[in-house]
Amino acid sequence: MGKTPSKFSFSTKRLERLAPPLKGQSIFWDAKTPGLGLRITKNGVKSFILQSRLTGKTVRLTIGQFGAWNIQEAQVEARRLAVSIDRGIDPRIKNIMTISIKEQSALSIWLEYIKQKEARWSRRYYLDHVDMSREGGELITRGLRRNQSNIKETGFLRPILNLPLNQITRDLVIAWIEKERNSRPLKTRLALAMLKAFIRWAADHSEYKTLIVDRTLCERLSQELPAPKARRDCLQKEQLKVWFQSIKNIQNQTISAYLQTLLLTGARREEWASLKWSDIDTIWHTAIIRDKVQGTRIISLTPYVEHLLSSLPKINDYVFASHRSQSGYLKEPRIALDQSLSRAQLPFLTIHGLRRSFGTLAEWVECPAGISAQIMGHKPSAIAEKHYRQRPVDLLRKWHIRIEQFILQEAEINF
């Protein structure tokens, strides 16, 4: 029997008949597909390979074992790899990167996601994402609630994000919801919304979309959660006098001014706490607030609010400055509020309840709902509000002053 030529047109029968060498390996080349070969080891293992040149050097890649790959599949793959090499791309490095991404935890991709979105989100929303994915274990030095551990717990989404992205499935998320929904339904709802947005972002990302098992894996899962209960905590007008008396007795002047002005502006907790001196215009009596709806909004500074702000010391760039906070501004006014409520024997009230109180008290002066909503920075709800109502600050000021005067009158504050 004659010696088999090293190059011929591949066929299944001919490749099956090829015998292994006594030592080392033998390579036979396909006459139809440049660079495609069949390597046979002395142990009889037959594998398709591609040999080419990249930047002047010989490159040899293993495509797969003969049998697992048929000839036609190997020819197609050889041509695909050859095109990449012709373009200067080394398939070996590309394969390593693909494997690395597949094994990469979703956490590292999540961190890339929130970093990319940070500029578009409010500061509070960004920090909520950071908290959801934190490692935990740090000591809590401020704002410790009763019966609460002084060690920060692991972020709510951290167990899921520790997995590779291609292992996050609908069944996994459902099991996580079932575990958490009864003890922390509101936080579970928020975390689910964040995870859903993250999965959609990854599914549209050129580098990560192949790792997503199902871009709709979080769809309609909020139905598995209890319906959220609307909070009703709110100051009544007959409670204003004792509330202001108690808040004014807070030893920390900054916290006292912050809580009073929060009620009198209807602002959100974080957007008001992060107010800077440079945001205040004492000539036109306005302030720029960084909100989560429009990015920024301008509100009028009513007389009593401006009086309280002007009495604060200028420690740093922030109006409600704090030496102890890493951010430089007030972060934990809740404890002082709770203590004041207790002293005044008033019912439970959250920081957000002060914002709710402003909207409720505004109705006593028959302030149009659209105006109080615009002062508070609510998203317009009606077509007319979205497209036809462009109220100037002076018009808002007229009603804002009326609201402040009513609140001060009920609190028996002469100003």
Q: Is 334 exposed, middle or buried (0-12, 13-18, 19+ CB in 10 A)?
A: middle
How far is CA 342 from each of CA 169, 338, 345, 347, 388, rounded to the nearest angstrom?
47, 6, 5, 8, 45
Express each pLDDT in 201-259 by its tens digit: 999 988 888 888 788 889 888 887 777 666 788 999 999 999 999 999 999 999 999 99
Give the model's pLDDT for residue 94: 55
- Do the Cβ atoms of 320 and 308 come closer than 8 Å? no
| pLDDT recorded at residue 388 | 41
pLDDT tens across 153-209, in order?
Answer: 888 899 899 888 888 899 899 989 888 888 888 899 999 999 999 999 999 988 888
Residues contacting residue 172 through CB under 8 Å, at least 6 positions apart: 160, 163
CATH numeric code, 7-95: 3.30.160.390
Residues shown for the chain = 415
CA pair distance 210, 39, nearest whole angstrom = 31
Look up residue 278 and give its DSSP letter.
G
Type of residue at 374: Q
Residue-level pLDDT at 383: 46
- List pLDDT tens digits, range 339-385: 999 999 999 999 999 999 999 999 999 999 889 999 998 876 654 45
Residue 230 pLDDT: 64
Half-sphere exposure of 178 (CA within 13 A, CB side): 6
Asked whether the beta carbons of 284 and 324 are under 8 A apart, the reply is no
First to last CA, the chain: 114
Q: What pLDDT score does 215 carry?
A: 86
C-alpha to C-alpha distance for 127 and 292, rounded to whole angstroms:
13
Total-model pTM: 0.58
CA-nearest of 336, 335, 306, 331 to 320 is 331
Residue 96: pLDDT above 50?
Answer: no
Task: Express each pLDDT in 119-144 by its tens digit.
Answer: 888 777 888 999 999 887 766 666 56
> What Cα–Cα distance (Å) separates residue 234 from each residue in 186, 349, 359, 379?
20, 7, 10, 21
In the β-sheet with 57-65, what is the strand arrangement from edge to edge?
Answer: 7-8, 25-30, 36-41, 46-54, 57-65
Return the C-alpha torsion angle 62, 63, 67, 70, nearest 10: -150
DSSP per residue, 190-207: HHHHHHHHHHHHHHHSTT
The number of beta carbons lying within 10 Å of the beta carbon of residue 222 is 15
Q: With b meaning 16 or more CB within 10 Å and e meaning fewer, what string describes 146-182? A: eeeeeeeeebbbbebbeeebbebeeeebeebbeebbe
Q: Domain 237-410 class?
A: mainly alpha
